[in-house]
């Protein structure tokens, strides 16, 4: 039996960014922030604020149900479901 840990917010951002064919620099340019900020989010050193989460949702074409999961993860809700979260 495999115990799979839920993906962290930064991992989800990275996966979706790559699925969209964007580099960290390109995503940073879209959001008007530095590559360093994107990197910090993806490795878990920092978390995007509410405004940046909204921008990420639009930039990465995240479904509303997936955004709800991202928001729950940001709020530290350990019981948030992650299956089927991102397209």
Q: Domain-by-domain residue ranges, the chain?
A: 9-74
pLDDT at 1: 45
pLDDT at 61: 83
The CATH class that applies to domain 9-74 reads: mainly alpha
pLDDT at 8: 86
pLDDT at 85: 42
Helix, strand or coil, per DSSP, at residue 23: coil
Q: How many residues does the chain have?
A: 87
Consecutive 10-residue runs of the chain (87 residues): their mean pLDDT? 62 91 92 96 93 91 60 53 42
Backbone angles phi, psi at 2, to 5 degrees: -95, 125
pLDDT at 78: 43
Conformation bin of residue 76: beta by default, left when phi > 0, alpha when psi is -120 to 50: left
pTM to 2 decimal places: 0.64
């Amino acid at each position: 039996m495999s115990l799979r840990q839920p993906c962290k917010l930064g991992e989800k951002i990275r996966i979706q960014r790559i699925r969209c064919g964007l580099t960290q620099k390109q995503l940073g340019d879209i959001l008007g922030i530095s590559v360093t900020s994107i990197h910090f989010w993806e490795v878990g050193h920092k978390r995007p604020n509410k405004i940046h989460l909204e921008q990420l949702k639009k930039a990465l074409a995240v479904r509303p149900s997936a955004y709800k999961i991202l928001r729950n993860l940001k709020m530290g809700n350990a019981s948030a479901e992650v299956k089927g979260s991102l397209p």
